Amino acid sequence: MFQKLLDRDFQIEIHSHARAILSVDFPDAVEELEDAIVGLSIPIEEIIGSGGGETQGTQRLRRALADRGWTKLNFTVEKRINGVAREAISHEIDHVKTFEAGVIACEIEWNNKDPFYDRDLENFKRLHADGAISVGVIITRGTSMQDQMREMVHRFAEERALNSHEAVEAFGMARTARQKQEVDRRVKNAAMSFEAAWAAHFVSDKYGAATTHWSKLEDRVSRGVGNPCPLLLIGLPANIVTFDENINLEKIADEEQALVEEGVVTPG
């Protein structure tokens, strides 16, 4: 199962009998997820240009899922007494699809604060307990991507000669006084090159340990958050990040606007 993803070094973890459920009852869901994800690539320019927000690459993944019928759905669970609604709880899930055997729910956590995992897993748990979904799926940054993020950003800075605040701003990235001071401090105190200091600060500031990446998700699942909902976890590997695309920030902004106009993402 998911051999195409495994061959590309995606991380796959399957919990609470999800393997049996997916293989027997949802082979079409497995095929659709794999086909939507396996060709994913994210130019390093998009990681930089997004400023830590969702990249166009992950937005293209959302579009690929939406094209296959995995669309946003707001589940509403009501408590009724003698036919009168007394309490209603809503759970909005970004990608949901109904199959003959049941419903699969999927969330993409590219770069949120890590407590979003608690929200996702608890939503999956409640919806599964209420019989609304059969399996919950989370797609997030994998271990290799998180571990190599600083190295990749540093490589980009050197290749693009981002060797001063002026060069960074000329590339199209506005920097606050605080951000500039932090880079200067690293250059002075850690005897780092400007490129290395800028990359270290950028990654710490935008893709730090407290954001959504594999180890934070794994920690919650190992503690039983979301249990006993069957879970499929997919980690995006470093090797989907591409270099030498020579994409400028204006093109990234144009792609973002196109996705907004298509309704794949919301502005801001």
What's the pLDDT at 52? 75
Q: Which long-range contacts (CB under 8 A, 24 or more apart) does 257-263 make?
A: 259/56, 259/59, 259/60, 259/63, 262/63
Structure tokens at 107: 């969330």
pLDDT tens digits, residue range 202-217?
999 999 999 999 999 9
Tokens 């309704």 label which residue?
Answer: 263
**Residue 105 within any structural domain of the chain:** yes
What's the pLDDT at 153? 96
pLDDT at 249 > cutoff 60: no
For the chain, the domain total comes to 1
Rounded to whole angstroms, the Cα distance separating 96 from 135 reads 10
CA end-to-end span of the chain: 36
**Residue 267 within any structural domain of the chain:** no
Rounded to whole angstroms, the Cα distance separating 251 from 78 reads 45
Structure tokens at 230: 């069957």
What's the pLDDT at 254? 59
**Residue 127 within any structural domain of the chain:** yes
What's the pLDDT at 21? 98
Report the pLDDT averaged over residues 122-140: 96
**Per-residue b or e along 199-234, where b marks 16 or more CB atoms closer than 10 Å to that residue's CB:** bbbbbeebbeeebbbbebbbebbeeebbeebbbbbb
pTM beyond 0.85: the answer is yes
Q: Which domain holds residue 197?
A: 3-261
Tokens 């590339």 label which residue?
Answer: 171
pLDDT at 147 > cutoff 80: yes
Sign of CA pseudo-dihedral 113, 226, 34, 152:
positive
**Residue 266 within any structural domain of the chain:** no
Report the pLDDT averaged over residues 103-107: 98
Which residue would you say has higher pLDDT here, 12 or 82? 12
Sign of CA pseudo-dihedral 91, 121, 51, 160:
negative
What's the pLDDT at 55? 85
**Residue 218 within any structural domain of the chain:** yes
Average per-residue pLDDT in the chain?
Answer: 90
**Residue 233 within any structural domain of the chain:** yes
The region of weakest confidence among 19-23, 160-164, 178-182, 262-266 is 262-266
What's the CATH number where 17 sits? Answer: 3.40.91.20
**Residue 268 within any structural domain of the chain:** no
**Residue 225 within any structural domain of the chain:** yes
